Each structure stands twice: as C-alpha cells, then as structure tokens.
Amino acid sequence: MSLTPLKTGLENAMYEVYALKYAERDTPACQFFYRESSHEPVTLHYFVWLILGGPHPVLVDTGFLEDEARQRGIRHYVSPAAMVERAGVRAADVPMVLATHLHYDHWAGHSLFPKAEYWVQREEVAFWTGPCARYDVYRQVANPESLARLVAVNYAGRMRIIEGDREILPGLRVHRVGGHTAGLQIVSVETARGRVVLTSDASHFFRNVERFQPVQIITNLPEMLAAFETIHALAGPEKLIVAGHDPEVAERFKTVEPGIVRIA
C-alpha cells in the first residue's frame, strides 16, 4: 500500500490519519457497558492508529502480542507491526508512539517498535506501578510483564512522561481526560477534513460518546463523563470522532483495504 509522502513543512500541518485493525472479539453487553442488562453480544475491534503528514510517522498505541491473543481468546490476530508495515511504514522506523493508556491492548506490544519513544501520562505510570494495580478488578486488563518493562524503557531514554495536555507537533495534541484509567489521554489531529479526535478508550464505541453511556472499566466515573464533553468540544462541527473499539469505524470512514481505514 502506498500512502501520501510525508510533508516537511510544519507551519500549516495537515495530517492523514489511519485506523489499523489487528484483532477482534465478542463480549456480552452486560459485561461491558455500565449498568447494562442486555446479554446480547457486542464485537470489539482492536486498533492502533497511524498519523502521517508531519516530519515523521506517529503511532497511537501499540496493541499486543500473539500470546496475549491466544490467552484471551481473541480472534483474527495480526501483528500491529505488520499492519503498520502494510500501511507503508517500517515498524523499526516508527520514532514516536503516543500511549493513550497502559491496558494490555494498548501497551503490551511496545516491543514491536524498538526505536520508538513513548509518550505517556505521569498519572498512568503511577497508577500501574502503585498499590491499586494489584487488585483483580485492574489486573484482568493488564499485562504485568509489559508493565514491568516501563522501567527498562525509561532507563533506555525512550519514555517521555508528561502531565496534562501537550502539543506534540504543530496540529497534533494529547489531552489528559482520565476516567477509564487514571491517566488516559486522547489525541486530536488537524487534517484537511477538520480536527480528528482519536478517543481510544475514552469512548470504546460511538454509543459511549453519543449517548453518554459509560463502560464498566472505570477508575473515575465523573472524569469518564467529562471526557465525553471534552471529545465533543474538541471535535467541533465536523464531529470526526473515532471510537476506540467500534466496528462502525470501517463504515463511518473510508476503508482503503481490509483492516486499514482512512479517517481523514
């Protein structure tokens, strides 16, 4: 697959954004949505997101490894690195990853991108290395081995621990929202179509942000609800909101080829 060459000028940076699907699974709605009674199955798609058009590619999240897919019964797994390479970028050449949070499906694949610097919120690192993380309610969404690697990655000079909202590059920002996890951050990207908001797990499905319906995996419910407001405010009238796990991403935006969706 051949994508638009990277731009070198940043004065009026306009990026291209791609959602790359690498796996999927089903779960009962009542085990996923907050205070939901339905036992109907819902399908989650697992994505990483690739941002092109700046001085270098930027990846949002890393996915997980094949052993995780086997252990958790996740189907149709393809290495996130392979998906990035199908989109025209060598995994070994990815210099920057914006880690939205440290759940297994967003962080456990960090070894796939050996030259990347990882940008993550201070609160997120503190939570997953602190006292609450040992409880089963949190352990079930964690990969302890990959979390232990936080120290090695940091000592290797490949971790940028930040606090709050931050401009990463002109037209590319992270916004700390919390809620789902202690230091969850979302990403806004200026594109030719308008501002794209990559919600990650601040809104797993479009119904979360559109109906203000939380999910059950929560560290702070008021922050989760406030995150929906932040997403709408950032998106503006174009409403280029990208839910983090929704199969509808492929329907609402342009599928370039199976597993690769051009957002803008």
Residue 42: CATH number of its domain: 3.60.15.10
Q: Could you list the residue range(s) of the whole structural domain that residue 207 is in?
A: 16-262
Q: Is the pLDDT of residue 3 over 60?
A: no
Cα maximum dimension of the chain: 52
Q: Kindly state whether residue 6 falls inside one of the protein's structural domains.
A: no
pLDDT of residue 6: 41
CA distance 244 to 47: 7
Q: Is the pLDDT of residue 2 over 90?
A: no
pLDDT of residue 228: 98
Number of domains comprising the chain: 1
Q: Using CA atoms of 203, 139, 106, 221 in order, give the dihedral in degrees to the nearest 10.
A: 20
Query: Residue 5 — very low, low, confident or very high, per pLDDT cuts 50/70/90?
Result: very low
The three-state DSSP-derived secondary structure of 122-179 is HHHHHHHCCHHHHCHHHHCCCCHHHHHHHHHHHHCCCEEEECCCEEEECCEEEEECCC
Query: Residue 10 — very low, low, confident or very high, per pLDDT cuts 50/70/90?
Result: very low
- The mean pLDDT of the chain is 95
Phi-psi region of 212 (alpha: psi -120 to 50; beta: other; left: phi over 0): left
Of 202, 201, 206, 204, which Cα lies nearest the Cα of 240? 206
Q: Is the pLDDT of residue 24 over 70?
A: yes
Give 160's strand partners.
119
pLDDT tens-digit map of 112-153: 999 999 999 999 999 999 999 999 999 999 999 999 999 999
Predicted structure pTM score: 0.94
Query: Residue 12 — very low, low, confident or very high, per pLDDT cuts 50/70/90?
Result: low
pLDDT tens-digit map of 31-45: 899 999 999 999 999
* Beta-carbon contacts of residue 18 (< 8 Å; ≥ 6 apart): 3, 49, 50, 51, 52, 87, 256, 260, 261, 262, 263
pLDDT tens-digit map of 62-96: 999 999 999 999 999 999 999 999 999 999 999 99
Q: Kindly state whether residue 5 falls inside one of the protein's structural domains.
A: no
pLDDT of residue 1: 60
**How far is C-alpha 183 from the geometric centre of its chain's CA atoms?**
13
Q: Kindly state whether residue 78 falls inside one of the protein's structural domains.
A: yes
CA distance 158 to 181: 22
CA distance 131 to 186: 25
Do residues 181 and 127 make contact, with C-beta atoms less than 8 angstroms apart?
yes
Q: Kindly state whether residue 217 falls inside one of the protein's structural domains.
A: yes
Q: Is the pLDDT of residue 7 over 50?
A: no
Q: Is the pLDDT of residue 8 over 80?
A: no
